[in-house]
A and B are shown apart, each in its own frame.
Chain A
Amino acid sequence: MPENSAKFRNRKSGIRKVRRVAHHVVLIILAAFWIFPVYVLLVDSLKSTQGVLTTPILLPASSSLNSLISTFQVLMGQFFNSVVIAVGTAAISTFVGAMAAYYFYRVSSRINDVIFTIIAIATFIPFEVTAVPLDKLLITIGLFNSIPGLIFSFLIFFLPTGALLMSIFIAVLPKLTIESARIDGANDWTIFSKVVIPLTYPGLISTFIFILIETWNNFFIPLVATSTPNVSTVSLSLLSYTGGYGVLYNDSFAAALVASIFPLLIFVFLGRYFVRGLMAMGTGSKG
């Protein structure tokens, strides 16, 4: 019955068209909801004081860079602290984590499995629970309220994370490659630096980016480990920009933009590495 089947196909394609349109409409609406806070962030951090006084945050107004510039000048010190701390923590965690991962990869034993499992579980513990002992430890070793103290504190959380992530990424290396390096007479350090590091490059970047973003955005650890603004990070500094009565919202949004621009740009340009780190963290896959 050729006519019959042709009609049938027609009806189907009509449904399909409606479905396709609905599919895109739903996606666009959801995307609009998700992008909305960034719209607000950009529009309002660029508002002039005049605009702030005449429009609510959801509506655009004449723009000016004044508030962004002045806020950045205020937060420059903290911004720089954040760069140093985040890059330092991410670099050390990735590299030292990779070393540990190399060890766990090279030497497999029951005890190592247990140690590794404990560390892996510990990295998922909410870090708020360490507030008191962290505070006490930092005061005891004299690192409280200092940049090195902050990096040290972050390393406690992110070095195990680095080891966990790198263990996942290192596992793709064929064991034979390492064995052939041993036969070639290479010691552990040579194998690690000349063979393992170059061959796990993408995994290293993923781990680095993941920890970089996590460290930059962390609020709680600087809150516990510091007490003065000069060693504070930019994400902690936002605390003084919450919507009290003295604050104009353009300054508040400008501060939020200053605090977010660094990880946001990294996400835009190197997001796939961040996602790969996330996937590895969640499922142990090297995606």
Chain B
Amino acid sequence: MRISKTIIFSIPALIFGGILIYFLLWNLFYSFTNWSPINSNYKIVGFATYAGIFASQHFQSTLTRTLMWTGGMFLAGNGMGIVFASLIFFLKNPRLRTIYSSLFLYPLAIAMSAVAIIWSWIYSPSEGIDTLLKYAGLPTFGFISNSAQALPSLILITIWVYSGLASVFYLAAFQNVSSDSIESARMDSAGPIVILRKILLPEAKNAFIVSSALLIIFSLRIFTIPYVSTGINPKTETSVLYLFNFFTYGYYAQAAAVSIIVIVIAIIVVIPYALFGIKRWINA
């Protein structure tokens, strides 16, 4: 039958998708072993590797940082996204709208490693913002060279990168609100803040779901910014850096177990989103 011939069309994509699934299963399998440089003849150890990882203070601190990063991106990304989207939405000039939208979105088009380099110079105590503050006789921040501020400074960079992403979805949601209801609110002499709170935001629930899911997923996979600007550094190490470190030194079982933990967190985020989104992907 012809249908069976049509399958040929899907095979290349299925192969590559299959490899991706295979990678996930690979992690699952080796997370139950003790494969490491000292145990190259690994054996199945059940949950022992997981137990070791969860017990390690080091892992706990990386997971805390990952969750802080995720939380920071979730709050600030959505917040800035709403601010940008509403400021842009109330612009009357369509050209200005386009210009500002692109302006807040362009960081996404820059290589993360370049972003990391630019910002680490901006944060540099000898050349960056702090230098100017010193000239002016003001107190300095320290940014990434200050252990308390290193993580928030890096989170700030990712907020700079990803806020525009959230604003795209909020702006789209605002633009979908029927202009009738906005106009009738205007006639009731409602100001922009009221319109935003009472009309636009309640209609932006989907935008909230989408941008939250994407912000969380992207913050889980953030690697380049801390890796390039501070290296594998106890002040800024997140779970994926921790995992990469295990990989570099050949602690494959540990790397696999951390991978599975990250995957589980990601899937917990993706599934509610998928329930919302994939139905549309399929029936679209």
Contacts and interface: CB of A to CB of B under 8 A. Distances in A.
A and B touch in the complex (CB under 8 A): yes
A217 to B, nearest CB: 4
B111 A122 contact: no
Nearest to B12: A96
A57 B122 contact: yes
Interface residues of A, number: 105
Contacts of A167: 281-282, 284
B149 interface: no
B132 A275 contact: no
A281 B277 CA distance: 9
Interface stretch (B37-45, B177-185, B221-229): B221-229
Interface in B62-110: 83-84, 87-88, 90-91, 100-110
A62 B23 CA distance: 52
A255 interface: yes
Question: Chain B contact residues: over half helix, strand or loop, or mixed?
Answer: helix
Contacts of A137: 19, 23
- Residue from B6, B30, B164, B255 having most chain A Cβ neighbours under 10 A: B6
B66 to A, nearest CB: 10
Given A159-B12, A253-B117, A279 B24 contact: no
Contact of B262 (A118, A129, A136, A255): A129
A285 to B, nearest CB: 8
Interface string A228-244: 00000011101101110
Interface in B215-256: 217, 220-221, 223-224, 227-229, 240, 243-244, 247, 252, 255-256
A102 B211 CA distance: 28
A46 interface: no
Given A132-B27, A132-B256, A167-B284, A259 B9 contact: no
Given A155-B16, A168-B281, A216-B111, A31 B103 contact: yes
A149 B168 CA distance: 34
Contacts of A279: 168-169, 172
Given A57-B121, A156-B19, A159-B17, A282 B210 contact: yes
Interface string A17-54: 00100010011001101110110110010000000000
Contacts of A80: none
A117 B13 contact: no
A144 interface: no
Contacts of A283: 169, 172, 206, 210, 277, 280
Interface residues on B, range: 35 or more
B9 A238 contact: no
A235 B113 contact: yes
A104 interface: yes
Contacts of B131: 56, 58
Contact of B114 (A102, A235, A281): A235
B39 to A, nearest CB: 15
B87 A128 contact: no
Interface string B172-201: 100000000000000001011000000000
Contact of B106 (A235, A257, A264): A264
B50 interface: no
B210 to A, nearest CB: 4
Interface in A156-197: 156-157, 159-160, 162-164, 167-168, 171, 187-188, 192
Given A156-B20, A188-B2, A271 B105 contact: yes
B7 interface: yes
Interface string A63-82: 00000000000000000000
Contacts of A162: 13
Contact of B103 (A35, A96, A160, A242): A35
B117 A278 contact: no
Given A37-B118, A120-B281, A131-B244, A249 B274 contact: no
Given A126-B262, A126-B266, A219-B223, A260 B111 contact: yes
A13 interface: no
Given A19-B191, A34-B107, A120-B281, 4 more contacts: A217-B110, A260-B111, A264-B110, A284-B280
Interface of A: 12, 19, 23, 26-27, 30-31, 33-35, 37-38, 40-41, 44, 56-59, 96-97, 99-100, 102-104, 106-107, 113, 115-137, 155-157, 159-160, 162-164, 167-168, 171, 187-188, 192, 213, 216-217, 219-220, 224, 234-236, 238-239, 241-243, 249, 252-253, 255-257, 259-260, 263-264, 266-268, 271, 274-275, 278-279, 281-287
30 contacts: A23-B90, A30-B83, A34-B164, A56-B128, A56-B132, A58-B129, A100-B13, A107-B3, A107-B7, A116-B281, A117-B278, A117-B282, A121-B270, A121-B271, A121-B278, A129-B24, A129-B262, A132-B252, A160-B20, A217-B109, A217-B112, A239-B228, A263-B109, A267-B108, A267-B109, A275-B101, A279-B169, A279-B172, A283-B169, A285-B280
